[in-house]
Amino acid sequence: MTAAEVRAVVGRAREAQRAWGAQSIEARCHQVRKFAEVLMARADEVIELLTKEMGKTRQEALGTEVIVVADLVRYFCKHAPRLLAPEPIPLHLLKHRASYVHYVPRGVVGVIAPGVRRAIASTKNKRVGVIGTEATIQSGAYTHALKAAQASIEVYSRACPLFVPLVEEGWTDNEVVEMTVRAYLESLKQSGIDTLILGCTHYPLLKKSIRKFLGSGVRLVDSAEETAKEVKEMLHGASLARKSGKARHGFFVTDAPDRFIKVGRRFLGERVESAVRIER
């Protein structure tokens, strides 16, 4: 794409976001429900993708992914009008002046661009590796974005489908993990990369094993961390970031809460104290 075409696409996306935010929550819920209907109608296509990308059986992909996502959408649509309704600010804080907090969509921050920007800023020899699920690597999203940002970058990609089940099993630093890391990343190590993008939110939990194999000369770029930084910058730029007080964390799950707490603490630490199961 040319620079002009990119600007045109970005402009249309921003206009679509403004139109989306201007709609009522009921109207947005109506459209999101349609997404759930399309998801169920095309379940076979999604299941095929999940079996390749995550190593799940067809039954697991249907029961723990497709149906669960559709249920979550319906749950959101059922409760969103109440959760996102204008919230009155207590009168004693405003000297009896009526005021409300209105919740407005801020848009979507993608996970590709933040990681790409960090990788380009980090690499010295212009050789960047990318690891992700099969679907991510096959899409070429990171390769296209890296090349668009800097044509001279050499990109070396590798799908690592077994990393996700290893992390979810809690295996992040043992002999099995080391063998798997070596099998997947040997070719990237030989290519001479000095920067590696971890293109899946599960992969940062394998940083220790990946860094041990690749060595200290390879900078690891956590796409999830870079995305979080961009969200933080966006909130500060819009004067929406919390200035004081502690954040509250609430977790709603469709599977066993105990399992979520166990796995969630691997990602978020002790902040995952409890979870509420959503009944279908």
For 6-17, write each residue's pLDDT tens digit: 788 878 888 888
| Cβ atoms of 156 and 128 closer than 8 Å | yes
Radius of gyration of the chain (CA): 21
| pLDDT for residue 169 | 85
| pLDDT for residue 95 | 63
- Name the burial class of residue 154, with classes exposed (0-12), middle (13-18) and buried (19+) by CB atoms within 10 angstroms of its CB: middle
Give the count of alpha carbons within 13 A of 207, CB side only: 15
Domains within the chain, CATH numbers bracketed: 19-99 (no CATH), 112-228 (3.40.50.1860)
| pLDDT for residue 276 | 83
CA distance 91 to 260: 39
Mapped onto helix, strand or coil, the DSSP state of residue 2 is coil
For 205-247, write each residue's pLDDT tens digit: 999 999 999 999 999 999 989 999 999 998 888 888 877 777 7
What is the Cα 80 distance to its own chain's centre? 21
Residue 148: CB atoms within 10 Å: 14
More confident of the two residues 59 and 178: 178
| pLDDT for residue 105 | 78
| pLDDT for residue 177 | 95
CA distance 126 to 151: 10
H runs (alpha helix) in the chain? 3-22, 25-41, 43-54, 58-61, 67-83, 112-122, 134-139, 141-149, 163-168, 175-191, 207-214, 223-237, 257-268
CA distance 258 to 255: 9
Can you give the pTM of this predicted structure?
Answer: 0.72
Q: What is the mean pLDDT of residues 39-48?
A: 92
| Cβ atoms of 54 and 133 closer than 8 Å | yes
% of residues, the chain, pLDDT over 90? 36
Q: Rounded mean pLDDT of the chain?
A: 86
Q: What is the mean pLDDT of residues 36-48?
A: 92
| pLDDT for residue 1 | 61
Residue 17: CB atoms within 10 Å: 14
Window from 84-88, 158-162, 198-202 with minimum mean pLDDT = 84-88
% of residues, the chain, pLDDT over 70? 94
94 — pLDDT class (breaks 50, 70, 90): low
For 134-161, write each residue's pLDDT tens digit: 878 888 889 989 998 899 999 999 999 9
The letter for the amino acid at 207 is K
**Cβ contacts of residue 276 below 8 Å, gap of 6+?**
250, 251, 252, 253, 257
| pLDDT for residue 82 | 85
| pLDDT for residue 93 | 56
Q: Which residues are bridge partners to 196 per DSSP? A: 129, 220
- Name the burial class of residue 60, with classes exposed (0-12), middle (13-18) and buried (19+) by CB atoms within 10 angstroms of its CB: middle
Q: Per-residue pLDDT for 280 more than 70?
A: no
